[in-house]
Amino acid sequence: MATKKKENKPLKALFAASEVVPFSKTGGLADVSGSLPIALSKLGTDIRVITPLYRQKTDIKKTRPHSKVTVEMNDKKIVVDIRQAEFPNTTIPCLFVDYPEYFDREELYSYPDDAERFALFSKAVYAHLLAEGDYDIFHGNDWQTGPVFYFIKSRGIKCRSLLTIHNLQYQGLFAPEMIEAAGLDKSLFYPGGPVEYYGKLGYMKTGITFADAVNTVSEGYAKEIQTPEYGEGLEGVLKEKGVVGILNGIDTEVWNPAADKHLAATYNYCDLSGKKKDKKDLQKKFGLPAEDDTPLIGIISRLADQKGFDILLESFDEIMSFPIQIVLLGTGQEIYHKEFTKMNKKYKQKFGLELGFNNALAHQIEAGSDFFLMPSRFEPCGLNQMYSLRYGTVPVVRATGGLADTIIDIDHNPIVGNGFSFEEYKGEALVDAVKRAVACYNRKDGWKDIIVRIMTADISVEASARKYLEVYHCLENSPAKKEAAVI
Ligand code: ADP
pLDDT of residue 486: 42
Atom of ligand 1 nearest to the CA of 383: 6
pLDDT of residue 59: 56
User: Which residue CA neighbors atom 20 of ligand 1 most closely?
Assistant: 301
Those residues whose C-beta lies under 8 Å from the C-beta of residue 400, and which sit 6 or more positions away, are 220, 224, 376, 377, 378, 379
> Which run of H or of E encompasses 441?
helix 427-443
Classified as helix, coil or strand, 463 is: helix
pLDDT of residue 470: 97
Rounded distance between C-alpha atoms, residue 397 and residue 260, angstroms: 25
Rounded distance between C-alpha atoms, residue 301 and residue 282, angstroms: 17
The pLDDT tens digits along the chain (487 residues) read: 333 334 568 999 999 999 999 999 999 999 999 999 999 999 999 999 999 999 866 555 688 999 999 999 989 999 999 999 999 999 999 999 999 999 999 999 999 999 999 999 999 999 999 999 999 999 999 999 999 999 999 997 889 999 999 999 999 999 999 999 999 999 999 999 999 999 999 999 999 999 999 999 999 999 999 999 999 999 999 999 999 999 999 999 999 999 999 999 999 999 999 999 999 999 999 999 999 999 999 999 999 999 999 999 999 999 999 999 999 999 999 999 999 999 999 999 999 999 999 999 999 999 999 999 999 999 999 999 999 999 999 999 999 999 999 999 999 999 999 999 999 999 999 999 999 999 999 998 899 999 999 999 999 999 999 999 999 999 998 876 544 444 4
User: Which residue CA neighbors atom 17 of ligand 1 most closely?
Assistant: 27
Class of domain 273-459: alpha beta
Rounded distance between C-alpha atoms, residue 227 and residue 25, angstroms: 30
Q: Would you give the distance in Å from CA 325 to the centre of its chain?
A: 28
256 backbone dihedrals φ, ψ, rounded to 5°: -135, 105
Rounded distance between C-alpha atoms, residue 380 and residue 394, angstroms: 20
pTM check: above 0.75: yes
246 alpha carbon to ligand 1 midpoint, in Å?
Answer: 19
Residues with Cβ within 6 A of ligand 1?
27-28, 31, 300-302, 329-331, 357-359, 362, 381-384
Nearest Cα neighbor of 378 from 175, 239, 170 is 170
Q: At what angle do helices 203-210 and 146-155 cross, to 10 degrees?
A: 40
Nearest Cα neighbor of 283 from 246, 253, 324 is 324
Do 268 and 257 meet the contact criterion of CB atoms below 8 Å apart? yes
185 alpha carbon to ligand 1 midpoint, in Å?
Answer: 36
Residue 13 Rama label (left phi>0; alpha psi -120 to 50; beta) = beta
User: Which residue CA neighbors atom 26 of ligand 1 most closely?
Assistant: 359
Domain residue limits, the chain: 2-250+463-486, 273-459
Say yes or no: do domains 2-250+463-486 and 273-459 share a fold.
Answer: yes
Classified as helix, coil or strand, 277 is: helix
* Surface-to-core class of residue 258, CB atoms within 10 Å of its CB (0-12 exposed, 13-18 middle, 19+ buried): middle
Query: Where does 2-250+463-486 sit in CATH, by number?
Result: 3.40.50.2000
Atom of ligand 1 nearest to the CA of 25: 12
Q: Widest CA span of the chain, in angstroms?
A: 75
Nearest Cα neighbor of 270 from 251, 255, 254, 257 is 257
Rounded distance between C-alpha atoms, residue 4 and residue 246, angstroms: 31
Mutate to test the pocket of ligand 1, among 384, 398, 405 (most ligand atoms within 8 A of CB): 384
Atom of ligand 1 nearest to the CA of 331: 23
Do 351 and 325 meet the contact criterion of CB atoms below 8 Å apart? yes
How would you write 363-400 as a 3-class SS string? HHHHHHCCEEEECCCCCCCCCHHHHHHHCCCEEEEECC
Mutate to test the pocket of ligand 1, among 20, 24, 25, 31 (most ligand atoms within 8 A of CB): 31
28 alpha carbon to ligand 1 midpoint, in Å?
Answer: 6
27 alpha carbon to ligand 1 midpoint, in Å?
Answer: 4
